[in-house]
């Protein structure tokens, strides 16, 4: 498939940032985004897309088969991610103070809450994020001798974490769907922004001292970020 036809199926973004390399990402809505150096010749872009297109087609096919990267219907049997694992949804017609819980390998939703299931799931993920990420950040900050000034949970769709100039950390509740090692990468990444506010070689060397295989987690997010969706 020539570049022109591939370009119709994906967005090619030319970046002026230093050290920009070729990368490709499938967003949660199924949009394919290819980032390339600003002065990269069309032939090089075409070659990169040609090499990566089998992977793109595979991932798009997986979205259709497994319903990942598209909005959920919140029906019985549908699966939801938590800490990198998929759990089926069971809807029960019984009373209970807890609208949603994860128990015995499945999400259990009270039927009376099904009409607003998305909001119920979001609140569940937010609570998990607040509790678990708060504990983990405390542990990692002690280990790394880094002191954030606060922590907030957001609903960002693609920005998994951030660190403000006042060293306040923010994390999207959506990362609770990712594997534990990927979550740790996001937390450590933002913690090191307390001492290094950019993505300089020094910043990445600090990350690598703690996570020697951090690139694997970065790649997982690029390739699977579209799945962290409701």
Residue holding tokens 């090089």?
44
Pinpoint the residues of the chain covered by CATH 3.30.2010.10: 127-227
Rounded CA separation 19/116 (Å): 45
Rounded CA separation 204/192 (Å): 9
Q: What pLDDT, in 10s, does the model give residues 3-61? A: 555 556 788 888 877 667 888 887 756 678 888 888 889 888 888 888 888 888 877 77
The reported pLDDT for the residue numbered 211 is 96
Please check the confidence at residue 112 and state whether its pLDDT lies above 80.
yes
The reported pLDDT for the residue numbered 53 is 87
Average pLDDT, the chain: 88
Please state the rounded mean pLDDT for residues 59-88.
Answer: 79
In CATH, what class is 127-227?
A: alpha beta
- Residue 206, both tokens: 């600090």
The reported pLDDT for the residue numbered 29 is 61
**More confident call, 146 vs 1:** 146
Are the C-beta atoms of 99 and 122 separated by less than 8 Å? Answer: no
Are the C-beta atoms of 78 and 67 separated by less than 8 Å? Answer: yes
Residue 163 — pLDDT band, cuts 50, 70, 90? Answer: very high
Rounded CA separation 186/151 (Å): 13
Share of the chain above pLDDT 90, in %: 60
Please check the confidence at residue 151 and state whether its pLDDT lies above 80.
yes
The reported pLDDT for the residue numbered 66 is 47
Rounded CA separation 167/191 (Å): 8
Please state the rounded mean pLDDT for residues 186-200.
Answer: 95
The reported pLDDT for the residue numbered 64 is 57
Rounded CA separation 109/116 (Å): 11
Please state the rounded mean pLDDT for residues 152-164.
Answer: 91
User: 146 by DSSP, 3-state: which?
Assistant: coil
Which residues are CB-neighbours of 139 under 8 A, at least 6 positions away?
none
The reported pLDDT for the residue numbered 58 is 79
Rounded CA separation 128/134 (Å): 9
Q: What pLDDT, in 10s, does the model give residues 177-192? A: 999 999 999 999 999 9
Please check the confidence at residue 209 and state whether its pLDDT lies above 50.
yes
Q: To the nearest 5 percent, what fractions of the chain are helix, strand and coil? A: 45, 20, 30
């Amino acid at each position: 498939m020539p570049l022109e036809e591939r370009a119709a199926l994906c967005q090619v973004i030319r970046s002026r940032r230093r050290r920009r390399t070729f990368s490709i990402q499938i967003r949660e809505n199924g949009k394919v985004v290819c980032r390339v150096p600003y002065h990269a010749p069309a032939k090089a872009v075409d070659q990169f897309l040609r090499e990566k297109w089998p992977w793109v087609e595979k991932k798009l096919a997986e979205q259709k088969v497994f319903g990942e990267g598209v909005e959920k219907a919140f029906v019985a049997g549908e699966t939801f991610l938590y800490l990198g694992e998929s759990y089926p949804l069971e809807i029960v017609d019984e009373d209970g103070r807890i609208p949603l819980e994860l128990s015995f390998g499945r999400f259990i939703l009270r039927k009376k809450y099904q009409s607003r299931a998305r909001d119920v799931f979001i609140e569940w993920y937010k609570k998990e994020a607040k509790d678990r990420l708060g504990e983990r950040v405390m542990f990692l900050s002690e280990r790394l001798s880094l002191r954030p000034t606060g922590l907030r949970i957001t609903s960002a769709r693609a920005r998994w974490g951030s660190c403000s100039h006042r060293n306040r950390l923010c994390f999207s509740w959506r990362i609770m769907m990712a594997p534990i090692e990927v979550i740790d990468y996001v937390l450590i990444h933002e913690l090191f922004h307390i001492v290094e506010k950019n993505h300089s070689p020094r910043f990445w060397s600090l990350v690598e001292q703690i996570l020697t295989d951090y690139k694997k987690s970065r790649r997982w997010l690029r390739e699977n970020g579209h799945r962290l969706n409701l």
